Structure 1
């Protein structure tokens, strides 16, 4: 069947993407692939393994690129010894600012990162912790202050599995500089399986389905950064940069979407939150209805306290 030329809105791509991911999660990869193939036939995307929500159809569906085509790859590789020396001084990742990555794409294991830039916003604390690395990154303005994505140190522990997923946009490429690379760590992008090398860069389009296995015996660490796709039309690039939102705007949106009015860090990185008034009233109504003083979400179930099961009432836990 010929591919159509319909310009589908993002809501269609998002729905297709969620359906493919759900089918994959439910253990139906063949059905998921059929769904992706159908989306291609209908002109939603050009390749069944490339399924971003933000999609520019004029860009070529190419999963992996030659690092030699990007000036900053040679620059990063030249500065690898200094970046590696600064990383080797890290004995306790948590004390050096690395934070757990709690993403649905984390299928198993442990993944931590420290972020230097996100959508052009500089995280001063992270940069102060790694002054050498951050100064080198700042020499690549298209990834730092003018970037459309993130710049992080990504630390994967042995036994970690990142499940197949697609990045949100094909308007950017992802760059990895291998820093600590044990045997047993590998990356699949589209239909290509890649391996990292210490002191060398990989460049790939993360809007293609990709996944990671780490079967080694020590952490795998890379410097990760996003840059604009080299074939992106300047007008599209300007639109994307103009559409970046500040850190404050992202935080505001997160709090509003989750019904939170206050978030505070306590001792030992404990996070304390306060609900906004509508959310607080709704939770209070639930608690009063169940005659409970507190509620906890554990393993997908709501647990009310005090437990009313002892009173013979089957209302202590509700499937969600």
Structure 2
């Protein structure tokens, strides 16, 4: 079963979110057969049109297609022409961390090491990163569809040998994800839907990351790509403008993130990030500690470890 016609029923984001959470849980348990059966049921019920495409924010009118020909987009040629300058700047960075790269915070890492540095997120420009990589930043600014007018992120993504990124789907089918290969040794590969691709230096991959995709790096040298999100080429302009207008300011996203997790204050010190919980979380954890006669609690490998005086 590959695709199904629309049922004509308008499904809500909540319905898609619940289906997606169930499928992700089954995948995390290693039961790909059950996950596939659940995905096909979702298609039959009009949640999505393809069992391997599972975004929460879904535009049903867009034809399901996991991978696109890079030649149909003007900016892929521009990026290929700019590759030597971006690569020369990247080559001044021999390891990721001193260059400002940070671990990717998404819980997608099965094993290995994956780091990135972010230039733009939902149109917000990170000035310190752009100053650190001025050549790359100037190239990105030449693609307004990805920079100030971008629907997602623009990053340098650094993947170390031995890494596996779990199967997952992006949050929206209304965008394309673009990868420009910067360092592309033998060994790394990406599966998007039922297609397996590899990177080539100076060339682009264009795919729909709302399709299930995963990455392996079985080589010996780091893989580095410039990653950009742009609006889907077939998206109605009025829908595209509405989606872009709904982007939240960076401060709003930080506020929502902290509020949802009960964080009242975050402070970056020389050796650690210190978080202060809000009143509700403080009260709850204090009660747990007192009931356990413990002075501290720490999560290690997903399990609570208590400390006692």
Pick aligned residue for 1:70 from 73, 86, 96 = 73
1:297 to 296, 299, 304: 299
1:44 and 2:47 equivalent? Answer: yes
Q: Does residue 252 of structure 2 align to residue 252 of structure 1?
A: no
Q: Does 1:288 align with 2:295?
A: no
Render the CA deviation track for 1:82-119: whole Å, top value 9, x for unaligned. 00000011023211110011322111100000000000
The alpha-carbon deviation at position 304 of structure 1 amounts to: 2.1
The 5 A counterparts of 1:133-212 are 133-212=136-215
How far off is 1:301 after superposition?
Answer: 2.0
The unaligned stretches of length 5 or more in structure 2 are none
Name the SS for the 2:202 alignment partner.
coil
Q: Note the C-alpha offset of 1:3.
A: 5.1
What are the superposed Cα offsets for residues 264-296 of structure 1, whole Å, 9 maximum, x if unpaired? 11123x111111112111111222222222111
**Which residue is 2:88 aligned to?**
85
Long gaps (5+) in structure 1: 308-320
- SS at 1:92's partner residue? coil
Aligned residues: 306
Partner of 1:233: 236
Q: Quote the Cα distance in structure 1 between the aligned partners of 2:95 and 2:214.
A: 27
How many Å separate the matches in 2 of 1:70 and 1:171? 16
From 14, 21, 26, the equivalent of 1:18 is 21
Residues in 1 aligned to 2:30 and 2:276: alpha-carbon distance in whole angstroms? 38
1:32 aligns with 2:15: no
Aligned to 1:306: 308
The alpha-carbon deviation at position 192 of structure 1 amounts to 0.5
Q: Distance in 1 between matches of 2:225 and 2:51?
A: 28
TM-score scaled by structure 1?
0.93
Question: Cα offset for 1:21?
Answer: 1.1
Deviates more, 1:280-289 or 1:103-112: 280-289
- Cα–Cα, structure 1 residues 2 and 187, in superposed 2: closer, same or farther, change >3 Å? closer
For the residue of structure 1 that corresponds to 2:147, the secondary structure is coil
Q: CA deviation at 1:300?
A: 2.1
TM-score (ref. length: structure 2): 0.97
Superposition RMSD in Å: 1.2
- Which of structure 1's runs of 4+ aligned residues deviate more than 6 A? none
Greater Cα radius of gyration, structure 1 or 2: 1
Deviations 1:188-222 (A, max 9, x none): 11111111100000100000011111001000000
- Aligned residues of 2:5 and 2:49 also touching (Cα < 8 A): no
How far does the alpha carbon of each residue in 1:13-48 deviate from its partner, in whole angstroms, 9 at most, with x for none?
111111111111112111111111111111111000
Query: CA–CA distance in 2 between the matches of 1:300 and 1:25?
Result: 14
Distance 1:53 1:2, change over 3 A: closer
